[in-house]
Amino acid sequence: MIQYQKWKDEIRILITDEQNYGSVQISIPCYDCRITGKADALIYALYVDSGCREQGVATKLLQSAEQQAKLNGVQVIGIEFDKEESESFVLNWYLKNGYKPFSKRSKLLIKQLED
C-alpha cells in the first residue's frame, strides 16, 4: 500500500507491506533544508519485522521507495545512517544497494537514481 501526504512544505510517502510487516517512508522537502545540495529527498524509517527478515522484503521496500521518489522528480535520494543506532550489517546492506557516503564524516548516504 502506498499513501501520499501533501504537507505545506513537504511530500511524505508511506509504503507498507502488511503481509510481511514492513514499511518505509520518504520525505521530499519543498523548502531549503539540511539535505539541500546533497539529496533531493530522504528515505527514513525502513523497517521489517524480525520474523520476515532475510527474505528480500527490505530490498523490495527500498526499491519501491526509490521508484516513488523518481516518480516525484527526485534525482538523488539520501538515507541518514547512525552507527550508534544501527548495526554495521545495515550500513553494509545500504552500500550493497548502491548508497555511498556523502563525505567521510557525514552520516548521510546518497544514491543517484537512474532514469
Q: What is the pLDDT of residues 56-104, one digit of tens each?
A: 899 999 999 999 999 999 999 999 987 777 777 888 999 999 999 998 8
Specify the long-range contacts of residues 94-103, CB closer than 8 Å, at least 24 apart. Answer: 97/59, 97/62, 102/38, 102/39, 102/78
Alpha-helical (H) ranges within 39-96 are: 57-71, 88-96
Would you call 44 helix, strand, or coil by DSSP? strand
Q: Domain 2-112 - what CATH class?
A: alpha beta
Task: Identify the pLDDT of residue 19.
Answer: 86
- DSSP track, 47-62: EE-GGGTTSSHHHHHH
C-alpha cell at 84: 550508534
Domain residue extents for the chain: 2-112
Q: pTM for the full model?
A: 0.88
